[in-house]
Structure 1
Amino acid sequence: MIWLQQLSRRHLTVAGATVLVIAVAAFGLGVLRPWPPADTSAEAGFARDMQAAHHAQAVRMSMIVRDRTSDAETQMLAYDIALSQQQQIGQIYAWLEMWALPQASLDPPMAWMRRGHQSMTGMKPQGLSMPGMATAAQLRQLEQANKRKAEVLFLQLKIPHHRGGVQMAQAALNATDQPQVRRLAASIVAAQNSELDLMRRMLTARGASDALPAG
């Protein structure tokens, strides 16, 4: 009986030491990170910026052009963008609730990328802003356009907007090892790169370039 107890203690000691070694190695490799994410984390910053500003503007532009043209191809693209990005807005909202974090932050837009760049380079980047966002004047132009003009303007605005979304999602992929965040960021990169190809083809078919309108 005594030898069984000694054997059990030895097994427990070895098992405990093994778990400790694995945990230390995982922490050193960056596998284990604080969870849920902190208020100032890249995960929280990416979620808020993508949800409240970038995706929200994409949905708005898509709804505008859907009502300004009867072109089936443009309406289908606008509907797909609005549907997928509104779904992702809901997903991100649920993340922040689950993480017990506020939906908004006092941090300026893209502060999470500023911190990431600073930690990687030791330098504070100058003037990082949310990439690809349309201006208020450009949105007014879209609201006032009709038919072919609305289609072309929508595509010209959405191409840099999608590029910006890809840039933000790629930065999140580089900054996090959390599976749910990585899955969403990777899906944004893949989907928006595919839509970028389609939008360029649609502009070409309309005899237009992707040059941004003034404003």
Structure 2
Amino acid sequence: MTAPATTDTPPVEPPVTSSGDRRPAGRYGVLALAAAVVVGLLLGYAGGLLTPTLTRPGDSSAEAGFARDMSTHHAQAVEMGLIAFDRGTDPEVRQIGGDIATGQQGEIGTMQTWLRSWGLDPTGSEPRMAWMPDGATVENGLMPGMATPEEMAKLRVAQGRELDVLFLQMMIKHHLGGIHMIQGILDAGSDDDVLKVAQIMKNTQQTDLTNLQNALKRLGG
């Protein structure tokens, strides 16, 4: 009698390089992360839709400024994270990059949904960072911690250990600037839901920062 076919499918292992390092399965690994980023974005939108709208922040409010500026700030981190996940050679660097890309894409979804629920445009009339209580300046059009176009171009073409170290260095700077901005809304904001999400963002980025610094120290960057 023929044994019934099993429905268990063995896990597919990523290919192993000559050095024994397991890598994402080429474009399939990137596509899987891209799908995760989309799911994170949708979850972020769903979370934002649950925000009560009894009192809505106005166009020039700290909450609106934070949502707009942090969405832009996050977008650069998502690109950096995807680059590290796609082409990084160190497993921890790839993991950190993927986690940051998916997490921050979801937060972008939440912040953009806030703006829609408040009846506000994604971009407003206020200058960038005008909402910050300490009057933080924008240098060359960049908010705190953001990489310059030249730095991003260098990261896009970097390879091997150079890419790993460069990503870690740039993301550490990026997170330090992001935490500074998050503290700004925690100091100036009054919307309970925004403050709750902002505190979660700060906690997450502080944990990321520790992991980034430890990885950079391990790689001798």
Q: Is the structural similarity TM-score above 0.5?
A: yes
| Structure 2 counterpart of 1:44 | 64
What secondary structure, in the 3-state scheme, does the structure 2 residue paired with 1:67 have? helix
- For residues 58 and 128 of structure 1, the distance between their equivalents in structure 2, rounded to whole angstroms, comes to 18
Number of aligned residue pairs: give it. 165
| Structure 2 counterpart of 1:193 | 206
Q: Deviations over 1:10-37 (max 9, x none)?
A: xxxxxxxxxxxxxxxxxxxxxxxx9200
Aligned CA-pair RMSD: 1.5
Any residues of structure 2 matched to 1:148-167 within 5 Å, and which? 148-167=161-180
Query: In the alignment, residue 187 of structure 1 is paired with which amino acid?
Result: I
- For residues 188 and 149 of structure 1, the distance between their equivalents in structure 2, rounded to whole angstroms, comes to 28
- Structure 2, gaps ≥5 residues long: 1-53
- For residues 184 and 172 of structure 1, the distance between their equivalents in structure 2, rounded to whole angstroms, comes to 11
- For residues 97 and 205 of structure 1, the distance between their equivalents in structure 2, rounded to whole angstroms, comes to 43
Q: Is the 8 A contact 2:147 2:174 kept in 1?
A: yes
Q: 1:149 to 1:183 in 2, by over 3 A?
A: same
Q: 1:126 to 1:160 in 2, by over 3 A?
A: closer
- For residues 106 and 40 of structure 1, the distance between their equivalents in structure 2, rounded to whole angstroms, comes to 8
Q: Deviations over 1:82-123 (max 9, x none)?
A: 11100000011110110000011132210111xx34xxxxxx
| Structure 2 counterpart of 1:58 | 77
Q: 1:158 to 1:37 in 2, by over 3 A?
A: same
What secondary structure, in the 3-state scheme, does the structure 1 residue paired with 2:165 have? helix
- For residues 89 and 163 of structure 2, the distance between their equivalents in structure 1, rounded to whole angstroms, comes to 10
Larger Rg: 1
Q: Is the 8 A contact 1:166 1:192 kept in 2?
A: yes
Equivalent in 146, 149, 159 of residue 136 of structure 1: 149
Any residues of structure 2 matched to 1:1-215 within 5 Å, and which? 35-51=55-71, 53-113=72-132, 116-117=133-134, 125=135, 127-129=137-139, 130-208=143-221
Query: In the alignment, residue 68 of structure 2 is paired with which amino acid?
Result: R
- For residues 180 and 212 of structure 2, the distance between their equivalents in structure 1, rounded to whole angstroms, comes to 17
- For residues 136 and 207 of structure 2, the distance between their equivalents in structure 1, rounded to whole angstroms, comes to 31
Runs in 1 of length 4+ with deviation above 2 angstroms?
125-129
Q: Is the 8 A contact 2:84 2:98 kept in 1?
A: no
- For residues 136 and 96 of structure 2, the distance between their equivalents in structure 1, rounded to whole angstroms, comes to 35
Query: Normalising by the residue count of structure 1, what TM-score does the alignment of the two structures yield?
Result: 0.73
What secondary structure, in the 3-state scheme, does the structure 2 residue paired with 1:134 have? coil
- For residues 59 and 190 of structure 1, the distance between their equivalents in structure 2, rounded to whole angstroms, comes to 18
Query: In the alignment, residue 206 of structure 2 is paired with which amino acid?
Result: N
- For residues 196 and 126 of structure 1, the distance between their equivalents in structure 2, rounded to whole angstroms, comes to 21
Q: Is the 8 A contact 1:165 1:188 kept in 2?
A: no
Q: Deviations over 1:34-70 (max 9, x none)?
A: 920010000000000001x100000011111222223
Structure with greater proportional helix content: 1
